[in-house]
Chain A
Amino acid sequence: MAAMFFVVTMALYFAATVSFLAYLLWPSKALSKVSLGMTAVGFAAHTIALVARMVGATDVSPPDFHEALSFFSWMLILVFLAVEFRHRLHVLGSFIVPLALVSLVSAAALPDTAPTLTPVFRTLWVHVTLSMLGTVGFAVAFVAGVMYLIQDGLLKSKRFNTLYSKLPALDFLDHLSQQSIVMGFPLLTLGIITGALSAEFSRGSYLNWNPEQTWALVTWVFYFAVLMGRLTMGWRAKRAAYLTIIGFAGVILTLIGVVLKSHGPVS
């Protein structure tokens, strides 16, 4: 059942992505409603798929990457729907839904078998969940940053097209980006701490400077600097937008590193 709903979800997110991208180019109210409807139904299917999988799990095995990415995608859509509900910001969907789709497709592409992470502890659940929640925050910040740069560019070049009319005000995007980092950062911090704890349990050391751990720490330091820079040195607006995009690239690299390590040739 989980698998079936998973496929339905993917199909709906794919359709929503296509229609949300079309919405960027054509001024149509109907398009935004259709896209939004498909996303909402997809989200419901996704929720069922996740619950079914959780209920169906026989043991307390830790989440594999398939589940983690699927959960990440689910959280992204949840955040989008929440922001949409509050601010009626359809255009956010044109950026977040494709990202959620990519994440979900990556989840599907990964082998569905148990991961190769050997010793298993309950703390791994907490670690994965917290890290993923932190990543969702950074993903939203990244999307807001991209939207910021697009709107900034359109205003500077005075190109008042459909996209310009749909994107919200610059300071709103800047604020959204900041809020997302402010929420994501403590979650990632906790994720890293729980990760270090489970590493200590499984391998006897908190940190053994392998590439993905190093990347994770670099990312953490980077976001810390971004937050501090904003608070003390006025790293906001355009600069903040660039920094959040770079930071998210770091997050993705870390994730790829972790996945490759457990699935691929690295291990």
Chain B
Amino acid sequence: MHIVVVGLSHKTAPVEIREKLAVPESRMGEALTRLCSYQGVREGILLSTCNRVEVYAVVDEIEAGYGRIQEFLADAHLSLSSEQLTPHLYWHQGDRAINHLFRVASSLDSMIIGESQILGQIKDAFEAALTHKSTGIILNKVVKKAISVAKRVRTETKIAEMAVSVSYAAVELAKKIFSDLSEKTVLLVGAGEMAKLAARHFIASGVRHVRVTTRNPQHGLELAERFGGTAVPFEQFREDMASADIVLVSTGAAHYLVSEDDVQRSVRQRKNRPMFLIDISVPRNIDPAVRHVDNAFLFDIDDLKARVEQNRGGRLQEAEKAERMVVDEVGVVRQWLQSLEVTPTIMALRTKADDIKRVEVEKTLGRLANLSASERELVEAMASSIVNKLIHNTMVTLKAEVNSSDGAAFVEAARRFFSLGDPALSLVDENAPPAAGACSSSHEESKDVEAMIPRAGSKRPDH
């Protein structure tokens, strides 16, 4: 019974592979049912976003589980074989798998660290898993914990507030000049990639009025259409600048396109309403002397980069804080998982000892028919005493080692010494009957068989 993750992300696989594996929401149910139909997969959840496709599962055997999940992933697309996937995949188990899930949920593994979308995607994936009953006691607990860890990271660190790109930094600066961007107008001068990206960020942040000017009028019209704005003739844009609150300049021109006088005049026409000018061109297209104009705020690419760097420094610190939180929380889950294993072990040991005692006492008393009631009691007491003393130290040690790093080994040893069945299996059966959907029910039979035969150690059918 192990938690594993098999998947690929923007860090390991190009978009061509990722898009092939992506599972659309409409086919999620079918995919989860298929995942749970694999032998040895007890619980499963599938996370599919544009940046990652991952399967978290509870499996009987780690290696076999890895293989099954890889098959499952490859099955998603006919043109991909399991082997072709191998170079792009990562496999984690136990603490590392939980750690990975927590990091993903907290957006520490995202392309843009601190972005908030991923948490919603995990919630959706969990929702789908619950609907199709593909998760059980373990994953339910672990995924819920991942969501709460992510929330904790968001509230206790500043990771989400950090600006991460130049265009984002531009928007962030604009928000310190204009409190409400929705009524503001952006003038995009030139069609540089960075400026276009920045314009897109501004639109995403609520800007509704976009004006575009480029040297090539046709290009300008196209861009204007794409941004839902209007095109301005290039020869006129300096005169038109007063109507723009935010001016984004990024052209290939080798000289200044906007002079101090142009800006001075615009600010005057705007009756001193502040103007935000961003010069993303190299070489620069706005005269740096514009800095001296009151109520005009000019930032060039270096200023923005400096801002990004500053944020990045802070972000790394915050990310470290978040990583520590994740490690703490993994510890909490680990303890829970271990207690999950030790408690049933102790109970099984107790039951087994009592059963042996009962049978032996009955046998003995059957032969000694002429004993008085008090003598019979004495025999019973002696049997109890022997049994209790024999298992006492084992039970105390198990309880004491619950939280130690060797806890699992002690449980395993106790199970083998006393020939106990697999405790975790019985626990899943006891606690998850309502959730015993696709994953659990398909294994009902095999579980029963396994529970009856005490496992004689490392039984590895696949490797």
Residue numbers of A with Cβ under 8 A of B are 27, 151, 155-156, 158, 160, 164, 167-172, 175, 233-239
Contact = CB atoms under 8 A, between A and B. Distances in A.
Interface of B: 158, 173, 175-179, 268, 270-274, 291, 294-295, 297, 299, 303, 306-307, 310
B272 A169 contact: no
A86 to B, nearest CB: 13
Given A171-B179, A233-B271, A234-B273, 14 more contacts: A155-B173, A156-B297, A158-B299, A160-B307, A169-B175, A169-B176, A171-B273, A171-B274, A172-B179, A175-B179, A237-B272, A237-B273, A237-B274, A238-B272
B420 to A, nearest CB: 51
B350 to A, nearest CB: 49
Contacts of B297: 155-156
Contacts of A175: 179
A170 B291 contact: no
Nearest to A172: B179
Nearest to A157: B291
A27 B273 CA distance: 30
Contacts, number: 53
Main secondary structure of the interface of A (DSSP, over half): helix
Contact of A156 (B175, B273, B291, B310): B291
Contact of A155 (B177, B268, B270, B272): B177
A237 B179 contact: no
- Residue from A167, A234, A235 whose CB has the most chain B CB atoms within 10 Å: A234
Interface centre among B270, B272, B291, B306 (most CB of A within 10 A): B272
B295 A151 contact: no
A235 B272 contact: yes
A155 B291 CA distance: 10
A170 B272 contact: no
A88 to B, nearest CB: 13
Contacts of B272: 234-239
Q: Which of B158, B173, B175, B179 has the most CB of A within 10 A?
A: B179
Contact of A169 (B179, B270, B273, B294): B179
Contacts of A167: 176
Nearest to B269: A234
Nearest to A158: B303
A234 B271 contact: yes
A201 B273 CA distance: 47
A158 B306 contact: yes
A169 B271 CA distance: 18
Nearest to B175: A169
A170 B274 contact: yes
Contacts of B179: 168-169, 171-172, 175
Contacts of A171: 177-179, 273-274
Contacts of A164: 176
Given A237-B272, A239-B272, A170 B303 contact: no
Given A158-B306, A160-B310, A237-B272, A170 B299 contact: no
Contacts of B307: 160
17 contacts: A156-B297, A158-B299, A160-B307, A168-B179, A169-B176, A169-B177, A170-B176, A170-B177, A170-B178, A171-B273, A233-B271, A234-B270, A234-B272, A236-B273, A237-B295, A239-B272, A239-B294
B335 to A, nearest CB: 29
Nearest to A174: B274
Contacts of B294: 237-239
B448 to A, nearest CB: 54
B382 to A, nearest CB: 64
Contacts of A237: 272-274, 294-295
Contacts of A234: 268, 270-273
A167 B177 CA distance: 10
Contacts of A151: 176
B295 A169 contact: no
A160 B299 CA distance: 13
B308 to A, nearest CB: 11
A257 B16 CA distance: 78
Contacts of B310: 160
A134 B178 CA distance: 28
Contacts of A172: 179
Contacts of A155: 173, 176-177, 297
Given A160-B307, A171-B274, A238 B295 contact: yes
Nearest to B297: A155
B178 A169 contact: yes
B313 to A, nearest CB: 12
Nearest to B307: A160
A233 B269 CA distance: 10
A171 B173 CA distance: 13
A237 B175 CA distance: 16
